[in-house]
Structure 1
């Protein structure tokens, strides 16, 4: 396709740049807010799974089974289906099923279990000798979690949340297809449905740039906190 053919296919003069900027901000806002909440819930769930694994206590075993069931179920449901299933929950929580806020419950519930498994794996991969040394010095379980478990696994936790964030950006695009706002919504409604290829192309390029930025930030953070890389 020559340059004239490309210019006719992508008519950038038809792009509403104000709407593009608004949608870009919505995507970034959705990503940041959902990432923060997912990081909190993911670490909490992953810690619960780690602490209750191989426990002889009945209640700990029951808690592990319940959390594992929750994580496995919601990690297995495709995101686009989960959005539809959670519409009643979304309506009750945020008061609407359209717009950026409406995407938050499904984004969080889909990504938190995924990240929780990464957190659990990061804890299991720690050198247990370090934990045993802390226990021999009389550290309580909470002190071990706060001063050993979390700090020592921080590079893996940051790497995991970076991967999760990239997935969340893709989820926001899918959520946009059912009116959740952001670049996905703009690309689908103003681009695909309106046969405006330029809007779809620009939205795609911006999403790719956002992914690169978050990936760079995550990689930079891991290098800064990973003591093994120094």
Structure 2
């Protein structure tokens, strides 16, 4: 059965809103958590401001285990945990949980790699002025690496749009669910084309916004 576009457009708008909701909530949560994990990973490395081999090894192992897992497998594997935490495995709120878990560790590695690019002399200068480890991390390293960090978060934002589409295929709602339910399962090419165009528009908007913000920061 082909979609009646005179009444189908509201479904497209609602699905797009669900996708934006999933992506923005996940980005906010995973940015806070990923920044914390990334800072801890950087600080505890050998030669860091708070070196701790055990903590660094544990964090690194978690990241290396979770990051390579394809998201479609991660969302299924985390389903029991999602049910325990959220109360359901279906819907946008249920999709946010596994998306946040996966994105957190991706952002943590982005944070670590960008902090490593900061000149060591900046850290030494802060130490010579009496700055403690926490102050160095939050008021020296993060501002110094802010431009590249924004670019890294832009990359993750685009990845989250992809994650949301995958989540939609297993009941997560959003554009992915619309494409699966009304496009793929009903063999409606027009629905598939529209959903792909919506996803492309979201990706282009995210990339444009991230590039603009990072350029403005780097010019300071």
TM-score, length of structure 1 as denominator length: 0.90
Q: Which residue of 2 aligns with 1:52?
A: 44
Change (3 A) 1:15 1:81: farther
Match of 1:155 in 2: 147
Does 1:65 find its partner at 2:57?
Answer: yes
What is the match of residue 115 of structure 2?
Answer: 123
Residues 1:35 and 2:53 aligned together:
no
Q: Tell me the distance in 2 between the aligned counterparts of 1:113 and 1:125.
A: 19
Matches of 1:169 and 1:224, distance apart in 2? 24
**2:73 alignment partner, one of 60, 77, 81:** 81
Q: Which runs of 5+ in 2 are unaligned?
A: none
8 Å CA contact 2:34, 2:104 repeated in 1: yes
Per the alignment, residue 183 of structure 2 pairs with 191
CA deviation string 1:138-172 (max 9, x = no partner): 11222212221110010011110000010010011
Distance 2:49 2:201 in 1: 49
Matched, 1:219 2:205: no
Runs of 4+ aligned structure 1 residues displaced above 2 Å come to 10-15, 55-59
* Contact kept in structure 1, 2:67 and 2:102, CA below 8 Å: yes
Distance 1:68 1:178 in 2: 30
Q: How many residues align?
A: 219
Q: Which residue of 1 aligns with 2:159?
A: 167
For residues 34 and 50 of structure 2, the distance between their equivalents in structure 1, rounded to whole angstroms, comes to 24
Calculate the aligned-residue CA RMSD, in Å.
Answer: 2.0
* Deviation readout 1:114-147 (Å, 9 max, x if unpaired): 1111110101100111110111111122221222
- Structure 1 residues 88 and 118: alpha-carbon distance in aligned structure 2, compared to 1, 3 A threshold: same
1:185-213 CA-partner distances (Å, limit 9, x unpaired): 00011101011111111111011001111
Aligned residue in 1 for 2:11: 19
SS of alignment partner, residue 126 of structure 1: coil
Task: Say whether residues 1:137 and 2:129 are aligned partners.
Answer: yes
In structure 2, do the counterparts of structure 1 residues 12 and 206 end up closer, same or farther at CA, with 3 Å as the change threshold? farther
Maintained 8 Å contact 1:15/1:198: no
Distance 1:200 1:174 in 2: 14
Which structure's CA Rg is the greater one? 1
The gaps in structure 1 that reach 5 residues or longer are: 1-9
* Partner in structure 1 of residue 172 of structure 2: 180
CA distance in 2, matches of 1:95, 1:41: 22
Q: Is the 8 Å Cα contact of residues 12 and 199 (structure 1) preserved in structure 2?
A: no
Deviation at 1:13, TM superposition (A): 3.4
